[in-house]
Structure 1
Amino acid sequence: MNLTVFGATGGIGRELVRQALDAGHRVTAVVRDPARLQVTGDTLEVFTADLSDPGRLRAAVSGRAAVLSGLGPRSRKDAGIATRLTGTVLRAMEAEDVRRLLVVSAGPVGPAPEGESALDRGMRGVVSAVLKDVYTDLREMEAELARSGTDWTSVRPPRLQNKPLTGHYRTVVGGFPRNGRFIARADVAHAMLSMITDETTVRRGVGVAY
């Protein structure tokens, strides 16, 4: 498949590029600074853009089977970036009639797991309060996805870790895995790539965790 990855220099974005290349896909990595992309490959195209102009991004998404985005706030000071940048990507995709989009959100944005323990409920409340602005941004991003004409999927992980790929994790379409507290960025990328052709995830949020 021909894929485009936004946020390709971030933790999940790099994994998306690396794993997609390893799987034999052709990948366009959209970056602001090519020097920060520590991934190479014969089927990799590096596309430099600052994401402020959807017209500029049209060439990066045109004719692609899917677009994957690791864009999002890395801290509270970045709140608002997910909605703004994802909106630019959406406009470029809609202009080129590219439909499949997979993005990274966060577990607390979706519904609580069935049978959630008191401990996990308390932890969710604390984290949601501390990162209130970040989660507000991600909810607004998901609302914009829902208003779009794309076949989107929002992947909602819990706390992210910099650990190797395992390929073993749980997913819940429209919910979240019970007692799911951690997941490696590499496994989030693996899950996103596996969902590209999974019709059950289209226009849905998907919780993913160990």
Structure 2
Amino acid sequence: MGSMRLTVFGATGGVGREVVRQALDAGYEVTAVVRDPARLGVADHERLRVEVVRDLTDEDALVPVLAGRDAVVSALGAASNKQARLSPVTGPALRAVLAAMERAGVSRLAAVSAAPVGPDVPSDGVVARKVFLPLLRRALRDLYADLAVMEAELRASGVQWTVIRPPRLLNRPRTGGYRRVIGGNVPGGRVISRADVADALLASLTDPATARRAVGVAA
């Protein structure tokens, strides 16, 4: 599917930039939706179109950047728990994106979430499940609540969605050797590179086994 036409939201973030680069390397046509083009950090490319949309909850503004596309990748996420508390990003944006996708006739989407939004892994042991995860979920509760709203929006929609749930993100190169669990989280999964999360997002778009499923990934 070398000529897939893709729209990427959250294109200026760590995962989003990797999605744009890897999609261009794969031969895709990419529309990168940004608020500030200067933050994209990806070299000009004949198959890259940069579109500025200041308000991602503006459904009418999203339809033109989705028209004629084959699929959507959302790498959106609040930069911090405080930002998620004061101004939730992901849930409200995805609600508008899904409505705009329906109007534009686009039916495939992959979005990044987070491992703590998913289920515990019984084999991870009591300390991880009863101490570490509850502390993490409490410290970042607004951020995870925003992602949980996004996941609920996706489940209620008619699109063929995939949610990728990584643990802690690192700035390391793509390995392609990460672990993946469809419908659950990865046992002992603690970290993964942003580049591998981007790889997982893009790979899911052509993998029917991931349609309407959440996928745990970890190194």
TM-score bucket (shorter structure)? over 0.9
Q: Is the 8 A contact 1:120 1:179 kept in 2?
A: no
Q: Is the 8 A contact 1:49 1:56 kept in 2?
A: yes
Equivalent residue in structure 2 for 1:56, among 40, 54, 61: 61
**One-letter amino acid of the structure 1 residue matched with residue 78 of structure 2:** P
Equivalent residue in structure 1 for 2:72, among 43, 67, 70: 67
**One-letter amino acid of the structure 1 residue matched with residue 93 of structure 2:** L
Q: Which residue of 2 aligns with 1:187?
A: 196
Please give the alpha-carbon distance, in whole angstroms, between the structure 2 residues aligned to 1:155 and 1:191: 7
Tell me the SS of whatever aligns to 1:154.
strand
Please give the alpha-carbon distance, in whole angstroms, between the structure 2 residues aligned to 1:60 and 1:98: 11
Q: Is the 8 A contact 2:57 2:97 kept in 1?
A: no
**One-letter amino acid of the structure 2 residue matched with residue 90 of structure 1:** L
**One-letter amino acid of the structure 2 residue matched with residue 42 of structure 1:** E
Alignment of 1:55-204 (within 5 A): 55-79=60-84, 80-121=88-129, 122-204=131-213
Q: Is the 8 A contact 1:163 1:185 kept in 2?
A: yes
Mapped pair 1:3 → 2:12 = no
C-alpha deviation, 1:204, in angstroms: 0.9
Tell me the SS of whatever aligns to 2:123.
coil
Q: Is the 8 A contact 1:58 1:93 kept in 2?
A: yes
C-alpha deviation, 1:119, in angstroms: 3.1
Mapped pair 1:15 → 2:51 = no
Percent identical residues? 53
C-alpha deviation, 1:4, in angstroms: 0.6
Between the two proteins, the alignment pairs up a number of residues equal to: 210
* Normalised TM-score (structure 2): 0.93
Please give the alpha-carbon distance, in whole angstroms, between the structure 1 residues aligned to 2:157 and 2:139: 30
Tell me the SS of whatever aligns to 2:124.
coil
* Normalised TM-score (structure 1): 0.97
Unpaired segments ≥5 residues, structure 2: none
Tell me the SS of whatever aligns to 1:27.
strand
Please give the alpha-carbon distance, in whole angstroms, between the structure 2 residues aligned to 1:7 and 1:176: 23
C-alpha deviation, 1:48, in angstroms: 0.9
C-alpha deviation, 1:56, in angstroms: 1.2
Unpaired segments ≥5 residues, structure 1: none
Superposition CA RMSD, Å: 1.0
Q: Which residue of 1 aligns with 2:35?
A: 32
Q: Is the 8 A contact 2:36 2:52 kept in 1?
A: yes
Please give the alpha-carbon distance, in whole angstroms, between the structure 2 residues aligned to 1:19 and 1:180: 24
